[in-house]
Amino acid sequence: MNHLIFLVGPMGAGKSTIGRLLAQRIGCDFFDTDHVIEQRTGADIPWIFDMEGESGFRDRESAVLEELSLEKSAVVATGGGIVVREANRRLLKQQKSVVYLTASIEQLVERTYKDKKRPLLQVADPRQKIVELFELRDPLYREVADYVLVTESRGPKFVVQSILDNLELS
């Protein structure tokens, strides 16, 4: 099956978990833009943020997105901030299948509060940062998405099936 599916949404929405399962289910490759960047640089995201700043990281992220958009068949989990650049939004809007995975602020906080690999959340009030990022990015996710799915209180297999049903792939 040739189908390229991009998953967008905030940190903690389940893009990587859902993406892996979805790719297995439809028999294609899975890519996580953050992991691709880490593999290519040999460094983790916090180190890249420390050395190159957010702008340097976003440059790397944009290059990986552009490359992965050329895949014939894959599921791509994007980083939460990929939509902040207009060029990335334009590229995503050209794709056939972009799914926005989201959850409540409380759920996002619960899923991310212990994770030290999220540089934007290494602040005094991570919950407030999640609220700020959500308010800024939610309209951008919606701008690029063909389909919005709330992952809260739903198991990964249910979410995968919902994506397949909506994209008429099941």
Does this model's pTM top 0.85? My answer is: yes
Q: pLDDT value at position 138?
A: 97
Q: pLDDT value at position 154?
A: 83
**CATH number of the domain where residue 14 is located:** 3.40.50.300
Distance CA 48, CA 51 (A): 5
| Model pLDDT for residues 80-118, shown as the tens digit of each residue | 999 999 999 999 999 989 999 999 999 888 878 666 677
Bridge partners, residue 76, by sequence:
6, 31
Q: pLDDT value at position 119?
A: 65
Question: How do beta strands 97-102 and 4-8 pair?
Answer: parallel
Supply φ then ψ for residue 148, to 5 degrees.
-115, 135
Q: Range of 159's domain?
A: 4-166
| Model pLDDT for residues 62-78, shown as the tens digit of each residue | 999 999 999 999 999 99
- Read off the tokens for 141: 């996710």
Is the model's pLDDT at 41 over the cut of 60? yes
Q: What is the mean pLDDT of the chain?
A: 91
Percentage of the chain lying above the pLDDT 90 cut = 72
Q: How many structural domains is the chain composed of? A: 1
